[in-house]
Structure 1
Amino acid sequence: MKPRTFGFLACWLVVLPSAHAAEKPSPANDPAFIAKASRSIDANVASWYRKEKLPVPAVTDDATFLRRAFLVAIGRIPTAEEARFFLEIDEANKRVQLIDYLVQSPGYSSHMSNWVFDLLRVTDDKPGFNGSFEPYRHWVRTAMESNMRWDEFSHSLLSANGDGWDPKTAAVGYYTRDRGMPLDNLANSMRVFLGSRMECAQCHDDPFGETERHDFYELAAFTEGQGGMRQNLMRGLWDEINDGEKRRSVDYEVAQVMWDRVYGLSLGGSGEGKIKLPEDYQYRDGEPGQLIGAKTPFGKGVRISEKNDKGGGRKELADWVTTKTGEQFASVAANRMWKRVMGRGVYEPVDEYKPTKELHHPELMNTLISLMVELNYDLQAFQKVLLNTKTFQFVPNPEPSKVVTGDDFHGRQLSRLSAEQLWDSLITLAAGDPDKKPRRGLDDRIYLNRKPVLVGKKNMVQVSKEVLALESEAAVRSYFDKLLEEVKKDGGGGGGDSMMGMAKIQRYDSKSHVRASELPSPAPRNHLLYLFGQSDRIVVEGASRDPNVGQVLSLMNGYVQEQLVNNSGAHLYKSLEGAGSDEEKIRRLYITILNRPPSGEEMGWMLEEVKNSGQNGFRNIVSALVMSSEFLFLQ
């Protein structure tokens, strides 16, 4: 960025470390490459206009671009300072500079984390399980922060095995999150990474597709055998303690730490590569209970014999998904990113892959696939290219797409903010730039009955490593006895060291004014995020943007009134400091909330309100603007 224009923004800029910094420099760091790639995409879109004889949309104004770029790239509106600076400078290249600033800011990884949490159904915990997916959640968040390549990220999840608390292997949470439901996990994997909907084939041949039940079980053989590492060594001890009155004892709580939070988060083996057909199997290509080997249903064929005893199935599956499925893996990734930036996929639904040759715009999809591969699946760089296109800058289009199965590119269609975008924008108004606050850290404390113990003395990372190294039932019992003794000596509550331990951990609750990515996942049912449709993380991409009465009441009588309208300390009111007239105050409120100056007609209305209501008129203006459709929608 040029110091004379975005100098004050540059001083805030945090350049995120690259997960593959040792590799050759990415073309994403070359402005000439970005510009050329963006022009190539625009050329494909322009050819579509010529083919369909459609007029080319105009480029949107600075104010609309500013708000759109912030919400799409980092998931929040700009602060008053950011908005005023961008709108007031006269710099021909300021849009390019703004995009550079956004994609390298901490807000980018926060917004990406929300997307991945929703896609992978990442939760802090789940009903019926007394452990915590804290290390897995932290692994995913860190991967987004370090901009891990999508192929590397996907491969790490699909091939994972080992200790759930070890930062190097915490990706096993992808499987342990679905423990007991391996077939559902596999169906989700195919949907997420390859856009292949195979869930129906768990029970029967898919009448609407090409997948047969036998195909699905051959694929499931790659991931068969998902148990905790050496968990059988604790089975006897657990059965003794997990009984009747003992469940109310400290012994049970300590045993639960080992059973659920260590063994329950670990993943043993590496994928059997073979599986038995279910007892209700009803087709001629196999017998009920028959042992079959692993086999891929499309792409480059990968097989493992049912006689194989070496395992390795999960790595074979990961290799196949990321490198042996032709254009499919790259196409699905590129289309998902196109939808994130442009608002609608080149083909829809984005989780149902369509071969490029069958699309309305094959040339564009070929360009996007080639770009994804050339950028080595760097999603940050890929989105940077899209953000720099003229296509991204087209004026909003209130009309629905003319292409039923995808995007006709005729201007961005209006859409309500996601729950996360709305929350992150509201806290920006209430408390200023949320990206300056520390990120939620890994809470690796040992909990008994929801209270931390042995704080400053021992943590879950240590306990997990020690427990999973035990090689006999006797060793497990001995370790349990020692851990129980330590806890009892500690008093079961962390003692005097508890505050010291907590100071090292940045933990936020549902009321904290921090980004949605730092809050409990999913949000509690009384939280604004839940009311506005945040996914419950039960199904893939389960978020909703449907309106309901509860949303209106929540804004009218809840957060907006308490934290913005009636809160004189809200950050948005700081934008009024130094304003010399009512007109200037109104202009600043508009820029702070809607990120644009008011029209002449709007200024007249608002001056009349201030004249009639005095200083309360400014609060009424805040209420009206935040409650407006313009604030709640992305143009």
Structure 2
Amino acid sequence: MPRLKRLMSSAVRWGWFGLLVLFAFGYLVAGLSQPTGNAPIPDPSNPDPSKQSVADMSASDSLGSSRAELDQVWRDSLAEKGFASAPPADWLTVCRRVSLAMVGSGLSLEEIRGLEGIPETERVPRHLANLMNDSRFHHYWGERWTRFLVGTDEGQFIVYRRRRFRIWLSEQFAADVRYDDLVRRLITAEGLWTDRPEVNFLTSTFDSNDNSPDPVRLAARTSRAFLGLRIDCLQCHDDFLGNVSLGDIDDPREGLQTDFHQLAAFFTSAKNNGLQGVKSGKPKYQYQYLNAEEETDVEPAVPYQAGLLPADGNARDRLATWITSPENRQAARAAVSHVWALMYGRPPGESVDNLPLDSTSNPMVEWLTDDFVANDFDLRRLIRLIVRSAAFGVDSRAPFDVTDAMDSAGAVFPLVRLRPEQVAGSMFQAARIKRTDRESSLILQLTTLTGNNEFVSRYGDIGEDEFTTDSVTITQRLLMMNGKMLRELTEDNPVLNTTAHVRMFSADDNAVVDSVYLCVLNRYPTADEQAHFVNRLSQSNNRGKAVEDVMWVLLNSSELAWNH
């Protein structure tokens, strides 16, 4: 009997081991094969694919006439300048653009195979709909907007929790909060910075104003982030160079020093009330203007369209009402320009926070601004319209010589260098067959997070400069070519890495090259590329090392580091 029990116990253990091996095998091969049929992509937040599909198609169909109008605006603007447009890009290229903009990395092979299982015309809208409900989108945009609103400095830990603010912003994107509501909550925030995370918009300035909100910094941040106006220079003097136009939109005047400090005066109503946190009180602001002999009382006032400002009420409530008024088109245009810049990787004009009051911008941005206001400041609708527009879907290459003027007019999709965290995100995602997100194992999440942060730190975090055009440095290129992290991501690791998975489970060398290209560059290789790398694989005495080399070459290619 004891021997029988031992045999039964051993059989059970081997049975469990075999089951684990089976599950591991299924995990490793997931995403490698081409799907058949038109099965929808499962969405973790919606367990019923049929309901998800209906909802997605409904949202897409509701944009029909609006998309047609927007596309006509784009075509008319090109025709007016005498420009032709580039041909449409393929669906994989467009989906990569969307992924880089919304989650900071390219597509996983798992996502690509899933999209290939549905009709081609549905792939871009389906991918966009999936990302809208993806926690990666909420957290990535939470970080991007945090940089835009409060910067990258951690500030005074006692009174400022940047991480809390970032998580709160992520929750707002996940909940699809209206943009005007989001702005209103930030401007009028009250309470403790620990249990009311939006208060950190104010407390991020405590370090420069003796543990109280700094009205000067808040005025500068508000004018740039919510109004798209750079009026910082007015802090010290009037506009002598004609760079700032304020006052009546139909008859603007030069900016004055009083414009800046009257805006700052609104924030003096935010008082630090100890254990109760930030509370609202009466504004009290004094300032000694240039060439004045003494300080004078400064009353809150807005720099343009003063008629939209409520006459009575709490100072910050009045300011928030003015900023979010549907008639304050400048503020809406600033929001649209920022979303546009996040989606394209660069602003529609020279800068995302410098939109002169007396000028117009890209015709598409002007149209989108009107639509944004008319549809209740709906951020997701705005994103959908941009992604589904013909302008967003054109190629970066054209059968004609592309000039800077054509590029600025949107005749081609702009070539934009990836941000450091996008380079890191694309590398780590390329090294995994399956999508790396908060549904992944804790070990994988931790490895990705720490590796990503370490890489960005060494590669060079660009800080608050959201849309820098600096060229790649020698140090960055050396980090890519010789860095330990890249070697670890490309090594033949059968537990984690793409190289081992495609080597073990691909049908032949052609399939290996296809899979590696899809993982890294999110496209299929050309005939010449396919022939070259298949030949290299076939001649290698160490197939695993050869696959590593293909992966390493593609990760170090210039193509990976650009959105196009």
TM over 0.5: yes
Task: Check 1:89–1:507 CA distance in 2 against 1; reply closer, same or farther (3 A cut).
Answer: closer
- Following superposition, the deviation at residue 72 of structure 1 comes to 2.6
Is contact 2:238-2:255 (8 Å) kept?
yes
Question: How many Å apart are 1:42 and its aligned residue?
Answer: 0.7
Query: In the TM superposition, what whole-angstrom CA distance separates every residue of 1:358-389 from its partner, at most 9, and x where no partner exists?
Result: 43654x34421121113311212211111111
Contact 1:219/1:297, CA 8 A, preserved across alignment: yes
CA–CA distance in 2 between the matches of 1:535 and 1:274?
Answer: 37
The aligned residue for residue 237 of structure 2 is: 204
Q: The residue matched to 1:412 in structure 2 has which SS?
A: coil
Deviation at 1:325, TM superposition (A): 6.0
Helix, strand or coil at the partner of 2:167:
helix
Distance 1:78 1:351, change over 3 A: same
In the TM superposition, what are the counterparts of 1:444-593 in structure 2 within 5 Å? 512-514=447-449, 527-537=454-464, 541=466, 545-556=470-481, 557-565=483-491, 567-573=493-499, 574-593=501-520
Correspondent of 2:290 among 261, 282, 287: 282
- Deviation per CA, 1:72-108, whole angstroms, max 9, x where unpaired? 3332211112123334655443333232223232232
TM-fit CA distance, 1:129: 5.9
SS at match of 2:226: helix
Residue equivalent to 2:198: 171
The change in CA–CA distance for 1:325 and 1:273 in structure 2 (over 3 A counts) is farther
Partner of 2:369: 369
The alignment-based identity, stated in percent, is 20
Query: 1:109-508 residue pairs with structure 2 within 5 A?
Result: 109-123=138-152, 125-126=154-155, 132-166=161-195, 169-179=196-206, 180=209, 181-208=214-241, 209=244, 210-229=254-273, 231=274, 263=275, 267-270=277-280, 272-278=282-288, 281-283=289-291, 288-301=294-307, 312-323=314-325, 326-355=328-357, 358-359=359-360, 361-362=362-363, 364-397=364-397, 402-403=404-405, 407-431=408-432, 432-437=434-439
Q: Are 2:16 and 1:10 equivalent residues in the alignment? A: no
CA–CA distance in 2 between the matches of 1:155 and 1:438? 35
The 1-side partners of 2:222 and 2:262 are apart by 15
- Could you tell me how far apart the structure 1 residues matched to 2:271 and 2:79 are? 57
CA distance in 2, matches of 1:270, 1:428: 46
Cα distance, 1:124 vs. partner? 7.6
Give CA deviations for 1:523-549 in whole Å, capped at 9, x if unaligned: 5xxx22234443434xx6376653112
Q: C-alpha distance in 2, partners of 1:426/1:360?
A: 35
Residue 601 of structure 1: how far off its partner (Å): 1.3
Shift of 1:29: 5.0
**CA offsets 1:33-77 (integer angstroms, 9 cap, x no match):** 212222211101111122122123211123322322322333221
Distance 1:317 1:5 in 2: 55
State the distance in 1 between where 2:373 and 2:37 align: 34
Alpha-carbon shift at residue 622 of structure 1 (Å)? 0.6
Which among 95, 105, 120 is matched to residue 76 of structure 1? 105
Per-residue deviation, 1:202:
1.5
Work out whether residues 334 and 368 of structure 1, in 8 Å CA contact, stay in contact via their aligned partners in 2: yes
Question: For residues 502-521 of structure 1, what are the alpha-carbon distances to aligned partners after superposition, in whole Å with 9 as ceiling and x for unaligned?
Answer: xxxx9999x641499xx8xx
Rounded Cα–Cα distance in structure 1 between residues aligned with 2:360 and 2:405: 11
Structure 1 residues 37 and 162, CA gap change in structure 2 (3 angstroms)? same
Contact kept in structure 2, 1:531 and 1:550, CA below 8 Å: no
Whether the 8 Å CA contact 1:565–1:623 is kept in 2: the answer is: no
- Checking the alignment, whether the CA contact within 8 Å between 1:222 and 1:313 is kept in structure 2 is yes
Note the C-alpha offset of 1:163.
Answer: 1.6
- Is the contact made by 1:586 and 1:603 (CA closer than 8 Å) also made in structure 2? yes
Residue matched to 1:54: 83
The question of whether the paired residues in 2 share the 8 Å contact of 1:161 and 1:172 is answered with yes
Task: Tell me the secondary structure at the aligned position of residue 269 of structure 1.
Answer: strand
- Per the TM alignment, residue 149 of structure 1 is displaced from its structure 2 partner at its CA by 1.4
2:280 match: secondary structure: coil
Change (3 A) 1:365 1:433: closer
Displacement of 1:393: 0.9
SS of alignment partner, residue 105 of structure 2? coil
Alpha-carbon contact 1:270-1:315 (below 8 Å) kept: no
Give the Cα separation in 2 of the matches to 1:375 and 1:531: 43
2:524 and 2:63 mapped to 1: Cα distance?
31
Q: 2:443 and 2:154 mapped to 1: Cα distance?
A: 15
- How far apart are 1:392 and its partner, in Å? 1.0
Contiguous gaps of at least 5 residues in structure 2: 1-34, 48-54, 245-253
The Cα of 1:591 is off from its aligned counterpart by: 1.4
Q: Report the residue type matching 1:627 in the other structure.
A: N
1:313 to 1:575, Cα distance in 2 relative to 1, 3 A? farther
Give the Cα separation in 2 of the matches to 1:182 and 1:34: 41
Which of 544, 548, 556 is equivalent to 1:619? 548
After superposition, give the CA deviation of every residue in 1:220-260 in whole Å (9 maximum; x if it has no partner): 1111154432x3xxxxxxxxxxxxxxxxxxxxxxxxxxxxx
Structure 1 residue identity aligned to 2:92: A
Instruction: Quote how far apart the aligned CAs of 1:340 are.
Output: 2.4
Number of aligned residue pairs: 499
1:590-624 residue CA offsets vs partner (Å, 9 max, x unmatched): 11211222222112221232213531111100100
Q: Cα 1:599–1:71, aligned 2, differ >3 Å: closer, same or farther?
A: same
CA distance in 2, matches of 1:619, 1:56: 39
Q: Specify whether residues 79 and 312 from structure 1 end up closer, same or farther in structure 2 by C-alpha distance, changes over 3 A only.
A: same
- Equivalent residue number for residue 560 of structure 2: 631
Farther off after superposition, 582-591 or 549-558: 549-558
1:153 to 1:72, Cα distance in 2 relative to 1, 3 A: same
Relative to 1, partners in 2 of residues 1:597 and 1:578: Cα closer, same or farther, differing over 3 Å?
same
How far off its partner does 1:429 sit? 2.7
String of CA shifts for 1:322-364, please: whole Å, max 9, x gaps: 1176210111111222222234433332211235x843654x3
Give the direction of change, closer, same or farther, for the CA distance of 1:182–1:403 in structure 2 (3 Å limit). farther
- Asked if structure 2 preserves the Cα contact closer than 8 Å seen for 1:397 and 1:414, the reply is no
Could you say what secondary structure the match of 1:435 adopts? coil
Q: Tell me if structure 2 keeps the 8 A contact 1:296–1:302.
A: no
Q: Using a 3 Å threshold, how does the CA distance of structure 1 residues 269 and 56 change in structure 2: closer, same or farther? A: same
